[in-house]
Amino acid sequence: MRTRMHAFRTRKATPGSAKGTAMANTHSTTEVAARGRAQKTWHGALSLALAAALAAFLTPAAAFADDASSADEQAQKQTQEQPQAQEGANTANIEDTEGDAPEQLQLLSAQSLEVSARTATQATVPYVDEQGTTRQASNAATVTAETTAWGQGTKTTWYVAAGNVTVDARVEVEGRVCLILADGATLNCAQGIHVGVDSSLTVYGQTSGTGALNATSNERYCAGIGGNLSVSSGTVTINGGTVSATGGDGAAGIGSGSVGGSNTIINGGTVQATGGYGAAGIGGSSHGSGSITVNGGTVTAVGGGSGAGLGGGSYGSSSVVINGGTVSAKSSGESAGIGSGLSGSSDVTINGGTISATGGFGSAGVGSGSHGSGSVTINGGTVSATGGDGGAGVGSGLFGSSDVTINGGTVDARGDDEAAGVGSGKQSSDTTVTIKGGIVNATGNYLTAAIDGNTVTISGGTVSATGLGANAAVGGDPSIDGNAFIVVNGTVNKSKQSSWKGIVVENGSGKVYGNVALATDATLPSGSTLTVPSDCTLTVAQGITLTNNGTVNVEGTLSTKGALVNNGTINANGTLEIEGTLTNENTINVNGTLNTEGTLAGGGKVVYPEPVKEVEEEEEEPAPRPRATSLEFDGGAAVNAASVAAETQTQDQAEAQKSTKTQSSSAASGGSAAKSAGSTLPGDVPLAQESAGGIPFVGIFVAVGVFIAAGLFIAATKRRSVKNQG
């Protein structure tokens, strides 16, 4: 460049000496600079005048008065800054190239093109973080087929995968690398990705989460994403997108290479990982170690050979913590679905999420592999676990050992071929089972109890245990001490029954032992009977529901501060106290006490016994008083007519009716005689009917009136008789 420019200046100079050439060069440079300043001054003045005219035309008068000064200042600032910037650029280019104005313009255009190219490869890209919040990443470099080294030193570097890209070489990650999988993009890493021991790879997706990363290691002992042979991996974190990884022989799909260690965190996205032979799908490798934490997302992990789906590889170790998400893990060899590989060890903690785990031959669904060891702690979530031949659903594998603690969650566990649902695998040793809470459904298999171990302690939760055939439902000489609700189909070792505290329903017949506060939702099955003895109290805690589909006999006290749902029959011979909610859909028989301070609902019925009538001592009835059964006439005079009327007024209703009927016949006879004499009572009311029939009963008052009328009639007849004799 310098040679060419020098030739250019020689051609422009006046022929002559070197001095003439220098003067020509000086003159040319000075002249160009002067012309440039004059042009810039003229152009600036013209631009200012045009800007002012345009502002005056477009801006309303009122606004123009307020904004004129600011517009002038901005225009003046632009006028001042533009020459300074241009002059600086010119000066730099002149010193750099020793050229003239045309060459300077050519160099400025090249710089502009370079800036545009840099902007195209490093852009601001949106992504979704681990909390689900959309953010922006600046200066994200686009991954191309040649981008095999990601990151630098200890810096944080951003990359974006856009479109369909295949990187044929193994990618090396250095420093803190953040990769964004753009929606609809597919990035294929044909030889996998190695994350250095002191480095990290964090994968993000975008709104739809359709960006994909496929990483496959075709090299033995190297992970699909993670470590290399005998070299531990840095931290791999997946927050979004779709990630699929396959490890080489002896290496994990995501995690460690053979003999190395790893740390994997999954917060979201869709992850599918398959381990090489002897290694985990996600986690440890053969003779290696792995730490795995799942907080969310959808995870499918398949172990290779004797490696766990999620956990450790053969002869390796692992630590697994699941806090959420949906996890499906399976082993194809002598290792657990989640836990340890063949002859390995693993500690598994499940706090939440939905988990499905299937063990390989001689291995637990969740726990240890064949000849392996470890521990399982379940605090929450929904866990479905199935052991392979000789492996427990949750617990140990063939010839293995494990400590199982269930504090909460819902666990459905099934053993296979001489293995417990929860606890011991076939010919396992030193396995302990502790159930403190949660809902546990355990099913054993041939020759093994549903829940079994060297020691079994049940102090809480709702436990359903089913032994097959004549097998025990709960073995291991269990200690039942707490507030557990246990329903078993099979037998329970009762050597410690005298110290039991809880509820045990065995083959349809149940009993409450001690004073129990139910702290987990429970259901009494249809056809089963539960008795609350007279010296016991069963309390349903607040927020808890007890559902009765069978028959509950309350001899002591059944108290609910939560909810009691009765779909069967409750016989309340003792005390039934409702402080919470009672939903009665069938029958409650109350032979004792029912206290209802809470809420009653449902369409069932409450039946109370018939009230017992008290037998009072009967008083001796007085001798009957003499009464006339008919009226007798002697020469037209009535005998005892007045006494008959007085006596009748003092009789009860039945006697009055009877007397009235009797006197009707007599009154009819006397009435005929009176009628023949042509006499009537005041008001011209007939004294009697002509028929021989009785007077209809209309009450005691009518009877009294009749007898008063009869007395008046007799008195009148007597007066007439005396007069006639005179």
pLDDT tens, 292-310?
A: 999 999 999 999 989 999 9
pLDDT of residue 167: 98
pLDDT at 694: 42
* 459 vs 678, higher pLDDT: 459
| Predicted pLDDT at 705 | 62
Alpha-carbon distance of 180 to 241, in angstroms, equals 8
Determine the angle formed by the axes of helices 2-12 and 18-58, rounding to 10 degrees.
Answer: 100
Task: Dump pLDDT digits (tens) for 692-707.
Answer: 334 444 455 555 565 6
Highest mean pLDDT among 14-28, 189-203, 489-503: 189-203
Cα 93 to its chain centre, rounded Å, is 68
Residue 641 in 3-state DSSP?
Answer: helix
Q: Determine the Cα–Cα distance for residues 720 and 711; give it in Å rounded to an integer.
A: 15
**What is the model's pLDDT at position 722?**
45
State the pLDDT at residue 226: 97
- Is the per-residue pLDDT at 57 higher than 50? no
Q: Which residue has the higher pLDDT, 650 or 282?
A: 282
The pLDDT of residue 639 is above 80: no
β pairing state of 509-513 and 501-506: antiparallel
Is the pLDDT at 68 greater than 70? The verdict is no
CA 418 to chain centre: 34
Mean pLDDT of 37-43: 44
| Overall average pLDDT of the 535-551 stretch | 97
Q: Which residue has the higher pLDDT, 656 or 599?
A: 599
Q: Quick one: what percent of the chain has pLDDT higher than 70?
A: 67
Q: What is the pLDDT of residue 477?
A: 84
pLDDT of 583 higher than 80: yes
Calculate the average pLDDT of the chain: 78
Ranges 40-54, 180-194, 219-233: which has the least confidence? 40-54
Average pLDDT over residues 559-574: 97
Eight-state DSSP code of residue 7: H
**Does residue 228 contact residue 264 with C-beta atoms inside 8 Å?**
no
The alpha-carbon radius of gyration of the chain (Å, integer) is 53
Give the pLDDT score at 271: 98
- The per-residue pLDDT for 445 is 82
Placement of tokens 């005048």 in the chain: 49
Mean local confidence (pLDDT), 262-288 = 97
Is the model's pTM score more than 0.85?
A: no
> How deeply is 357 buried, as exposed, middle or buried, from its count of CB atoms within 10 A (0-12, 13-18, 19+)?
buried
Q: Quick check: 517 pLDDT over 50?
A: yes
Tell me which of 19-23, 251-255, 301-305, 526-530 is least confident.
19-23
How buried is residue 55: exposed, middle or buried, by Cβ count under 10 Å (0-12/13-18/19+)? middle
Within the chain, what is the greatest distance between any pair of CA atoms?
203
| Helical axes 700-725 vs 641-649, angle rounded to 10° | 170
So what's the pLDDT on residue 430? 84
Residue 122, pLDDT score:
62
pLDDT of residue 128: 97
Q: What H or E segment, with its residue span, contains residue 418?
A: none
Residue 623 has pLDDT above 60, yes or no: no
Least confident of 9-13, 46-50, 504-508: 9-13
Q: What is the pLDDT of residue 619?
A: 59
Q: What is the pLDDT of residue 64?
A: 33
**361 pLDDT exceeds 90?**
yes
Mean pLDDT to the nearest integer, 616-643: 44
pLDDT in tens, 122-145: 678 999 999 999 999 989 999 999
Reported confidence tier of residue 470, pLDDT bands at 50, 70, 90: low
Using pLDDT thresholds of 50, 70 and 90, give the confidence band for residue 490.
confident
Instruction: Let me know: does 636 contact 717? Beta carbons within 8 Å.
Output: yes
Rounded to whole angstroms, what are the CA distances from 135 to 131, 178, 199, 458?
A: 11, 13, 23, 49
Select, from the ranges 23-37, 66-80, 417-431, the one with the highest average predicted confidence (pLDDT). 417-431
- Indicate whether 552 pLDDT > 70: yes
> Would the pLDDT of 147 be above 90?
yes
- How high is the pLDDT of residue 209? 95
Q: Compute the average pLDDT of residues 57-63.
A: 39
**Predicted local confidence at residue 624, as pLDDT:** 56
